[in-house]
Structure 1
């Protein structure tokens, strides 16, 4: 029985593959239950973000079997997935999960959103009934280590995110962002960060498009934007100088035809677009249009790398905390593994004690002298407690099991009297 982490991310796989293996939020619970039945495990969780898709399990699951289920679910052959996948077992799996939660494995080194995404993945698995004690304990420890890293290192200082990188790229394209209008598609955490950064840069004309108007209105009110529905985008697109999109849609929101129509209305005034969704919200063919500058989440890497150097020292400190965290988790698991044996030993000892006390009370009530009864109680309890260990040690000596004899010295603290 061991922990297993398997997946792909922005380091190992192109965007085209990542979007094919992403799990839609509304499909995760069903996928977890299907995987639980197919793999015969009680512990499994799925983390699916714009930069990674990972599966975490505990049990006797073979990496090949897990990858086969993954491929079948997404209708991709194992051979096509194999070059892009990584897997970690045991301590390496726990260490990897900690690195992910702390943002050390993110496109943005130290970005904070991934911890919330991992907590959400854990919550969905709990609600789906696919988490039992081992994976529960692992997640709780991982979250505590992530909190420790945030508290004790500078990994989160000078916050940089994909949203920040998108706005930074826009600053490089436009001479003055304050004169530009923005259309933001989606109303999740990433788009909220984009809206926040745009407002900080002085952008006043922001339109927020979302599937539900209530959520768009809520976010728009916070940032002085105009809320619209996704269906209103064709009527608004030509007004936007920049478009930044991040939804959970499994199909593109913007197609080449809609963008062409908007460009005609703009008299071919260029549009800057950033698609930070996986799967992509904007059809890749839009990039073929002469007056469109379309960037995907992978295109933001250069902007992000400039901000990475300042966090490297903090990342090294975080890795030390993670290494210590893995050791601590192993110790906790070891203690937990002995819990059943300790409970059984205490229960048996308690039973023997109660039996001997009952005999002693009967003897006292029968008129026996207290000192005699106490000696009998002590001798009988000692003999019964030591009978099985003594017999086992004799058998071990006869069988040449020096390891068990040495263990007895350690378990019963006999080292001080151990013969040379």
Structure 2
């Protein structure tokens, strides 16, 4: 089994193009189910965040899977994605996954939020049986490694995320009286909740919060004792009072439109952390409004960048070592599954033979027991030499050759059954 990753990310893909490749919950599940209908894709996980849209699959044909994923993006998302799509296979895909999970591939180096987003992506795929043994192993190992290096290297002594960076930007913007500024957070999901937590930690005293539904508002009130929650339909009425708006919803449509904005009597900073974007681009043309999007935070000064670059180099070296271990696991997992399937094939053939003979011969109970014992033993002996040979193999090339031999001698053990956790 091989890992293939295809997608787009913040490195070379403009925000307006990343929007076209984004998945919401419904399209994410539909996408996984569609991909699993392809013969060359055994497992699939979709990771869609504000900075990336990536699909990871387990496959026996990496080249075919790469083309399938590319065509999937172009057909189901937009043909405008084509110049920006990357395709990574096998070891390169594993390294990329580890760099993503550890935050080395993030816009904000070492950011924390991506770890939770990767966990969510794995759980969503598992919930609809989109991934099995292979991708679960890859993602869990990457998640465990990320937790280890973050603890060991402390790449982010203070939590880092787009939400925290946005709050710090506001603090820099109003160094004298930031605590008194009125700030409206739109969206009570993870990013909105994080923004509220950082405001509490930084000493912002006047946060307001709204969301299309009030499902998370009790939790938000527990985070910051001064937070004022307002009804979503009243959001425009509150804007003239605000100094800053931070929007981070999962809405597929814009939630603040230029032609519905009220008249402003003081400057307003609007920070859009959503993808697809929450704020209509024309809002930025309104007099007195400064509109910032995700990509604007590339330029935000990071006081700890030099330290984190040094740490990132050390983590990159550890990633290569981890991948060596993962590839060894993949190699020996093939052997373990072939051994298991040889034993199962031997057992099935023995039971079929016992049933056939006992049905044709008039045997006593004692004779049937003896005959069954002998047949099971002989069929077991039949597969012992190839099993011993399998366990002595060390290289990928030797194992692949043995796979072909085993599947030729035992046609019932097709390539998919040799892996184990496959599409049913």
TM-score when scaled to structure 2?
0.77
SS of the residue corresponding to residue 131 of structure 2 reads coil
Q: Is the 8 A contact 1:216 1:227 kept in 2?
A: yes
Distance 1:70 1:82 in 2: 8
Kindly tell me: are residues 18 and 348 of structure 1, through their superposed partners in 2, closer, same or farther at Cα, counting changes over 3 Å? closer
Contact kept, 8 Å, 2:346 with 2:383, in 1: the verdict is no
SS, match of residue 214 in structure 1: coil
CA gap 1:324/1:238 in 2 versus in 1, 3 angstroms: same
1:97-136 C-alpha deviation (Å, 9 max, x unpaired):
0110111101111111111101110111111111122212
Tell me how far apart the structure 2 counterparts of residues 129 and 385 of structure 1 sit (CA, whole Å): 36
Which one of 223, 231, 234 corresponds to residue 232 of structure 1?
234
SS in 2 for 1:178: helix
What's the CA shift for 1:148?
2.2
**Distance of 1:140 and 1:169 partners within structure 2:** 34
Q: Are positions 1:158 and 2:165 aligned together?
A: no
CA offset digits 1:186-242 (Å, max 9, x no partner): 012211221122223332211101111231243133212011232120221111111
When residues 209 and 340 of structure 1 are mapped into structure 2, their CA distance, relative to the original with a 3 A threshold, is: closer
2:268 maps to 1:271: yes
CA distance in 1 between counterparts of 2:271 and 2:91 reads 38
CA distance in 2, matches of 1:387, 1:185: 65
Q: Label 1:234 to 1:343 Cα distance change in 2 as closer, same or farther (>3 A).
A: closer
**Alignment partner, residue 244 of structure 1:** 246
Residue in structure 2 matched with residue 71 of structure 1 by the alignment: 74
- Between the aligned partners of 2:345 and 2:186, the Cα distance in structure 1 is 65
In the alignment, the residues of structure 1 paired with residue 130 and residue 327 of structure 2 have an alpha-carbon distance, to the nearest angstrom, of 22
Change (3 A) 1:335 1:291: same
Q: Distance in 2 between matches of 1:387 and 1:190?
A: 56
Distance 2:234 2:136 in 1: 44
Do 2:197 and 2:223's aligned partners in 1 also have CA atoms closer than 8 Å? no
Give the whole-Å Cα distance in 1 for the aligned partners of 2:341 and 2:28: 40
Q: Which residue of 1 aligns with 2:392?
A: none
What is the aligned residue count?
A: 353
Q: Contact 1:108 / 1:304 at 8 angstroms: preserved in 2? A: no
Pair 1:314 & 2:311 matched: yes
The residue that corresponds to 1:121 in the other structure is 121
1:161 Cα deviation from its structure 2 partner? 1.8
- Distance (whole Å) between structure 2 residues aligned to residue 262 and residue 216 of structure 1: 28
- 1:258, CA displacement in angstroms? 2.7
Unaligned segments of structure 2, at least 5 residues: 348-377, 390-396, 399-424
Q: Give the corresponding residue for 2:328.
A: 331
Give the stretch that moved more between structures: 85-94 or 152-161: 152-161
TM-score, normalised with respect to structure 1: 0.78
Secondary structure class of the residue paired with 1:30: helix
Shift of 1:171: 2.1
Tell me, in whole angstroms, the C-alpha distance in 2 between the residues paired with 1:21 and 1:344.
40
Shifted more, 163-172 versus 235-244: the winner is 163-172
2:287 to 281, 290, 293: 290
Per the alignment, residue 203 of structure 2 pairs with 202
Alpha-carbon distance in 2 for matches of 1:386, 1:120 = 42
CA displacement 1:337-381 (0-9 Å, x = unmatched):
11144457889999xxxxxxxxxxxxxxxxxxxxxxxxxxxxxx9
Residue by residue over 1:284-324, the C-alpha shift from the partner in whole angstroms, topping out at 9 and shown as x without a partner, is 11111120011001101121544422211211221122111
CA distance in 1, matches of 2:13, 2:314: 28
Which residue matches 1:176? 177
RMSD after superposition:
2.7
- Say whether the 8 Å CA contact 2:73–2:81 is kept in structure 1: no
**Counterpart contact for 1:254–1:281, Cα < 8 Å:** yes
- Decide whether aligned partners of structure 1 residues 223 and 14 sit closer, same or farther in structure 2, where only a CA change above 3 A counts: same
In 2, Cα distance between the equivalents of 1:168 and 1:294?
16
Would the alpha carbon gap of residues 221 and 345 (structure 1) be closer, same or farther in structure 2, given more than 3 Å must change? closer
In structure 2, relative to structure 1, the CA distance for the partners of 1:262 and 1:185 (3 Å cut) is farther
C-alpha separation in 2, matches of 1:348 and 1:54? 38
Q: Which residue of 2 aligns with 1:418?
A: none
Equivalent residues of 1:217, 1:227 under 8 A apart? no
What does residue 410 of structure 1 align with?
Answer: none
For 2:417, the equivalent position in structure 1 comes to none
Matched-pair contact (CA < 8 Å) for 1:21–1:53: yes
Alignment partner, residue 299 of structure 2: 302
Query: Once the 2 structures are TM-superposed, how far is the Cα of residue 140 of structure 1 from its aligned partner?
Result: 2.1
Structure 1 residues 205 and 343, CA gap change in structure 2 (3 angstroms)? closer
